[in-house]
Amino acid sequence: MTQRWSIFCDTNSISGKGHISRMLVLAEKLKKKKKIVFITSSLKNRFCKDITNAGYNIYEIEKMKFKKNYMTIIDGYFFSKKHIDIVKNGSKFTLQILDYGSKFYKTNYIISYDKLFKNPGIIGEGLRYSIINSNFENKKYIKKKT
């Protein structure tokens, strides 16, 4: 049986589109071996259409009947404690993408771009763990001057 993974992504336009873009790239890589669904705080948020256009199901967290997820990836800034608790209770494991200045939600695992953030759950730290457009995945270098 294929593991079900969910992505709880910030679709709020205040956050911009970076979280959505990053998670869509990740979902494309994971969907070969995992069943991927997206979760959002509101289906009325402006970036939800990008997720459905990419071919993924997206559910509003308040209306979602959770099947037990193996892993939920949390990427965003504006989540309530109630929503984080729902995600944690509906998942065996949680992983947070911890951007600069974002709130730490006490997840099982963390990917942090901030090398100064110390936590025993960190599985990756620094810019080499940033997830960007898959068109760049085969590049061996980053230009020093852009």
What are the average pLDDT values for consecutive 10-residue runs of the chain, which has 146 residues? Answer: 87 80 91 92 88 94 80 88 91 86 81 72 66 48 50
Strand ranges across the sheet with 58-60: 58-60, 35-40, 4-9, 69-75, 91-98, 109-112, 122-125
Measured between alpha carbons, how far is 90 from 83 in angstroms, rounded to an integer? 11
- Chain centroid to Cα 94, Å, comes to 10
What does residue 95 show for φ and ψ, rounded to 5 degrees? -135, 130
> Which tokens is 126 given?
């620094």
User: Which pLDDT score is estimated for 134?
Assistant: 46
